[in-house]
Amino acid sequence: MSGEATEKFDNITQILERNARLWPDDVALVEINPQELEARHTTWREYSLVEGSPIEAFRSEMTWAQFDEKANRFANLLLARGFGRGDKVAILLMNCIEWLPIYFGVLKAGCMAVPLNFRYTADEIAYCIDLAEADALVFGPEFTGRVESIVDRLAGLKMLLYAGEDCPSFAERYSSLVSYTSSRAPDVRMAPEDDAAIYFSSGTTGFPKAIVLRHLSLVHSCLVERAHHGQKKDDVFLCIPPLYHTGAKMHWFGSFIEGGKAVLLKGVKPEWILRAVSEEKCTIVWLLVPWAQDILDAIERGDVDPSEYSLSQWRLMHIGAQPVPPALVKRWKKVFPRHDYDTNYGLSESTGPGAVHLGVENIDKVGAIGVAGFGWETKIVGADKKTPVAPGEVGELALRGPGVMKEYYRNPEATAATLKEGGWLLTGDMAEERDGFIYLVDRAKDVIITGGENLYPVQIEDFIRTNHKVRDVAVIGLPDERLGEIAAAVVSVKDGERLDEEELSRFCLGLPRYKRPRKFIFADVPRNPTGKIEKPRLRALYGGDALVARQNGIEGNNV
């Protein structure tokens, strides 16, 4: 651990201030936008070789001192406008280098940050701002049309800030205002138990719920990530997922507490990811399943050649946000045998990933989500939601630790259904324990009941993914008059491959008879920005109104 990294922090802004004090001139954040190069018909290699290239929009960087100063300026703007403890500032931005200074500026003012999903429709934006009782909104140019369409419904906001060029008439320009405020740290003290942020559940079960997290939870997530993956000052973290989600930031937090550099990559093409790792000397990369698959597929097709990149410093690839097919990890280790690998499990309700993790030393247990994470406790409970089931029996996974949310904001019924006596958080995930490791069986809401038998789609999906022609798969329940439901597999086939129902049915003879899908649908498998399969969307497309209504009736909180 570096320097003062062992000291205790009451709130997460103290870590930023420590970093700015110890390493003011070290680079903290880098933003890379390969799409800008493509728009200008310039290759990454050409840019890299031309000293003083004018394409500034492709790459920008920020030191720790600049990061802290920008956060201070925004905090002082909020305080000057009368904002303070308990006020809420919504953030609607695509990933960019200003995102994190704005987020930390909100926290430095004693306010609560309210990150919004960049895929929200205008109505969803208005809904979440209303639910969180937000007092201000910072939005980027990609959202001007959506915000303008609901501006009359946002009349209760005290401030509407635009982060970008060509500020619309209904907002104030963020950069102009903060340039005139003080760069000194505001004198605002925050305790560990103080509210820090509102995050929204992923919305895969209808309208999202507002999750209140405290400063102690954010600080603990830094400790969790560092304990699991041993970040040092010279580690470089490649961040690709959206920053509004807990998964992206909380994985970065392990490097943040050590003062390590983060690279924000705006794009997910395999060649962009490998080039960013190579050019920026990234050592840690967190991927979603589809991105890892795309990299491997591109290598197998010969579209990219790993030998053309400097990848020797890349030490860790880890995945979270969804069940990870063991076949994918096997393929990855074949291509990148020197990489450490870890699977991470968590919820926004548990301050992101790490409540359960496999551990880099347990790669022989791939298929499990792992064991209780640093500072966490786990148990698998039965129908009464409190009594542990025996090893090998399926029950609902429950978590306890410093990262557990405070509540669902303005939703005491959902809070009571999720937070139980003794500080336990019910996850809504069905799991079982074998040989001391936890295996995720499926979401409670996704269990298919066919002829009285419980089918767990993840198990069927993992088997079908072992077919080398399958790119992605989702198994859902479809209504059936005789059996109640049948398992249907929505299958996405790899580019250049041919696969039909007859061939896939023969392949599935390797499954027990009752687990074999009764129907195959060849189509794209939709995933949300954090990589989760959008099964309610698939059920709406293929399942009929009756099943959709039944599924919605039993859905719980979101992972």
What's the token pair of residue 515? 């687990």
User: Which whole number is the average pLDDT over 505-524?
Assistant: 91
What DSSP assignment string belongs to 310-371?
--TT--EEEE-SS---HHHHHHHHHH-TT-EEEEEEEEGGGTEEEEEE--GGGGGGBTB-BE
pLDDT digits (tens, 9 = 90+) for 392-448: 999 999 999 999 999 999 999 999 999 999 999 999 888 999 999 999 886 767 778
Q: What is the CA radius of gyration of the chain?
A: 23
- For the cut 80, the answer to whether the pLDDT of residue 45 exceeds it is no
Q: What confidence tier does 106 reach under pLDDT thresholds 50, 70, 90?
A: very high
- How far apart CA 185 and CA 225 sit, in angstroms, is 27
Q: What is the pLDDT of residue 6?
A: 57
Helices 215-229 and 246-256: crossing angle in degrees, nearest 10, is: 70
Q: What is the pLDDT of residue 84?
A: 95
pLDDT tens-place string over residues 373-389: 999 999 999 999 999 99
Whether 552 has a pLDDT exceeding 80, the answer reads: no
At residue 553, does pLDDT exceed 90?
no
Please tell me whether residue 27 adopts helix, strand or coil conformation: strand
Return the pLDDT at 539. 84
Out of 115-124, 129-138, 217-226, 294-303, which region has the weakest mean confidence (pLDDT)? 115-124
The rounded distance, in Å, linking the Cα atoms of 212 and 409 is 6
Taking residues 34-63, report their average pLDDT. 73
For 391-457, give the DSSP string: TTS-EEEEEESTTS-SEETT-HHHHHHHEETTTEEEEEEEEEEETTEEEEEEEGGG-EEETTEEE-H
6: left (phi over 0), alpha (psi -120 to 50) or beta: alpha
State how far the Cα of 263 lies from the Cα of 59, in Å rounded to an integer. 10
Q: What is the pLDDT of residue 520?
A: 95
List, in order of start, the domains of the chain with CATH numbers. 13-267 (3.40.50.12780), 316-442 (2.30.38.10), 447-554 (3.30.300.30)
- Contact call for residues 489 and 519 (beta carbons, < 8 A): yes
Say if residues 121 and 92 touch (Cβ distance below 8 Å): no
Lowest pLDDT segment from 54-58, 93-97, 289-293, 530-534: 54-58
- The C-alpha atoms of residue 339 and residue 331 are separated, in whole angstroms, by 12
pLDDT, one tens digit per residue, over 222-243 is: 999 999 999 999 999 999 989 9
Q: What is the pLDDT of residue 136?
A: 98
Whole-angstrom Cα distance, residue 413 to residue 555? 14
Q: Are 478 and 457 in contact (CB under 8 A)?
A: no
Residues 248-274: tens digit of each pLDDT: 889 999 999 999 999 999 999 999 999
Residue 321's pLDDT band (boundaries 50, 70, 90)? low
HSE-up of residue 91 (Cα within 13 Å, Cβ side) = 28
Say what the pLDDT of residue 551 is: 40
Round the average pLDDT of the chain to a whole number and report it.
Answer: 89
Confidence class of residue 544 from pLDDT cuts 50, 70 and 90?
A: very low
In tens, the pLDDT along 163-220 reads 999 999 999 999 999 999 999 999 999 999 999 999 998 644 457 899 999 999 999 9
